[in-house]
Chains A and B, each alone.
Chain A
Amino acid sequence: MKKIEVRISGFGGQGVILAGQVLGKAAVYNGKNAVQTQSYGAEARGSAAKSEVIISDGKIDFPSVRKCDMLIAMSQTAVDKHLKDLKENGVLIVDSSMVKKIPETKAKFFKIQASEIAEKTFGEKLYANMIMLGALNKITKVVNENFMKKAIKDTVPKKAITVNMQAYKKGKELIE
């Protein structure tokens, strides 16, 4: 593996930063170097938010993502804003319950109704982030499954481990 750059985008409250944290931690458990940065608005919820993860075998100098290999977009604004930064052969995963209009792209492209499924299955939209993460890892196999599971366990609140694990599994199942 050379260097993989991932951007997870949406709005505040969707857990895009937590998802990035889990992915970065899993990569480190997997013996890689990882840097995770975040960007969010001054409001607690509702403003644009993104989380970026760079995974590499070597030292990571510049911590921000300029062109990403993988893009998760969980809002219309997110996909409109960030698609231009996705590499041509990159992977795009959108939460299709939030994103209605998808701009033309040459990227490998997946639609998942993450927020809707999360609400229906687990009673809360906020598990959509783990569904997206499950889909991402099923598609890209960017980190070993076991490390991803360990990272979820070590990152989310204790009482929410089970449901987050279920949501992660659900995400994997949604990808054929």
Chain B
Amino acid sequence: MRTVNPGTYFWQGNEACVEAAIIAGCSFFAGYPITPASEIAEHMAKRLPQVGGIPIQMEDEMASICAVIGASWTGNKAMTATSGPGFSLMQESIGYAFMTETPCVIVDVQRAGPSTGQATKCGQGDVMQSRWGTHGDYSAIVLSPNSVQEMFTLTVRAFNLAEKYRTPVILLTDEIIAHMREQITVPPLKSIEIINRKKPKVEERAFFGLEEVPPMPAVGEGFNIAVTGSTHNEYGIRLTADPTVHRRLVERLSNKIQNHVDEIADFESYNIDECQIGIVSYGCTSRTVYEAVKNAEKRGIKIGYVRLKTLWPFPERIIKKLAETAEKIIVPEMNLKQMFYEVERTANGLAKIIPLNKIGGGELITPEELLAKIEEAEKND
């Protein structure tokens, strides 16, 4: 048995993530079980050996991310999956992965935090953590699916972006999307684009600079590789006092993502050229938006939305465009205003930004609650 056959399935989000990872070329998984991400580890344990890959349950999340980083340096495409508490534990080594430019995929299935919070209930509270979780300056790529189908497509994309930009990529999903079952179509394998990391030529030795995204050798291929989380030059040599070397390295780590925002930023938009009221949403909350928007239109409200598939780097251009048209923008979130301020900053006074927040018990914001907010916003001119 190899990769899954093309066709239509009724899968859980977590299952779709695993099958997509395998199609993308994932050959190593290390993780520690945690609700609501456990099904990823479970399916990986079953599926990876069938395709010649290796799944391993580590002693905790810190060890899991370290194993993933090590596997990536042996030339494997590697991933881990966790939820908030485990994601917190991983942060130190995620920083190491950014600094050493190690391609890998980290799935965070969000549940209600902080701490162990409500373990089985949905939340969207890790939005800022996914961007700023580890210390220092860096630029993270964070993707946000809103269906089982997108758990599939965005997992493939996460691996592709990780390989292309030689960086950790975070698939920031949530309990609703990860546990939900719905139809999914696996397209013919030939139609799925797979990107692999750039390998060095025999004579090349600069694996940490000179180019925006340098080539990456694998351990055992004959290159003398030095990999360190401390500041290093293009050749991996540790230089912890030289200001120029540090500037050059860390600015490049940030710029290699920020210079390509338009390519990385992915979103879905509707009626943003003519709307009076706009909505910015992502993940499970966007499912509420679809229904509320239909009902608002029935009442004659001019409404449009932007649904973010890439949370970070933040797709400023499209939000600015929405703010130029819409008088008011509602930001519904299952957290206490995490993306709200980012939208407000980007709109920069062009539109009034209105929060709609709900946490606890894994209860989604209902279309009725959102519609009430839309109507309130329309009335109070």
Contact yes or no, B176 A37, CB < 8 A = yes
Q: A24-B10, A28-B8 are in contact. Are A62 and B288 (CB under 8 A)?
A: yes
Contact yes or no, B35 A63, CB < 8 A = no
Contact yes or no, A62 B287, CB < 8 A = yes
A42 to B287, CA, bound (A): 25
Name B274-327 residues within 8 Å CB distance of A.
284, 287-288, 290-291, 294
Name B322-365 residues within 8 Å CB distance of A.
362, 364
Name B241-271 residues within 8 Å CB distance of A.
none
Closest to B366 in A: A66
Q: A39-B120, A62-B367 are in contact. Are A28 and B183 (CB under 8 A)?
A: yes
B77 on the A face (CB < 8 A): no
Closest to B121 in A: A39
Name A36-60 residues within 8 Å CB distance of B.
36-42, 60
A61 to B10, CA, bound (A): 16
Contact yes or no, B120 A60, CB < 8 A = no
B211 on the A face (CB < 8 A): no
A64 on the B face (CB < 8 A): yes
Closest to A43 in B: B120
A28 to B7, CA, bound (A): 13
Q: A60-B182, A62-B367, A63-B176 are in contact. Are A39 and B10 (CB under 8 A)?
A: no
Residues of the B chain whose Cβ atoms lie less than 8 Å from the Cβ of A24? 10, 181-182
B180 on the A face (CB < 8 A): yes
B197 on the A face (CB < 8 A): no
Contact yes or no, B180 A61, CB < 8 A = no
Q: A24-B10, A61-B287 are in contact. Are A41 and B120 (CB under 8 A)?
A: yes
Closest to A66 in B: B366
A60 to B176, CA, bound (A): 14
A113 on the B face (CB < 8 A): no
Contact yes or no, A25 B287, CB < 8 A = no
Closest to A38 in B: B179
Contact with B along A17-29 (1 / 0, CB 8 A): 0000100110010
Residues of the A chain whose Cβ atoms lie less than 8 Å from the Cβ of B181? 21, 24-25, 34-37
The dominant DSSP class at the A interface is mixed
A76 on the B face (CB < 8 A): no
Closest to A52 in B: B180
Residues of the A chain whose Cβ atoms lie less than 8 Å from the Cβ of B180? 35-37, 63
A39 to B294, CA, bound (A): 27
A166 on the B face (CB < 8 A): no
Name B12-27 residues within 8 Å CB distance of A.
none
Name A65-122 residues within 8 Å CB distance of B.
66
A137 on the B face (CB < 8 A): no
Residues of the B chain whose Cβ atoms lie less than 8 Å from the Cβ of A39? 120-121, 362
Query: How many Å from the CB of B309 to the closest CB on chain A?
Result: 17
Could you jot down 7 A-B contacts, CB within 8 Å? A33-B182, A34-B181, A36-B182, A39-B362, A40-B120, A61-B290, A62-B291
Interface of B toward A, CB cutoff 8 Å: 8, 10, 35, 118-121, 176, 179-183, 284, 287-288, 290-291, 294, 362, 364, 366-368
Interface of A toward B, CB cutoff 8 Å: 21, 24-25, 28, 33-42, 60-64, 66
Pick the 7 closest A-B CB pairs, nearest first: A61-B290, A36-B181, A61-B291, A28-B10, A25-B10, A62-B291, A42-B119
Give 12 A-B pairs besides A24-B181, A36-B180, A61-B367 with Cβ atoms closer than 8 angstroms. Answer: A25-B181, A35-B182, A37-B179, A37-B181, A39-B120, A41-B120, A42-B118, A61-B294, A62-B290, A62-B291, A62-B367, A64-B176
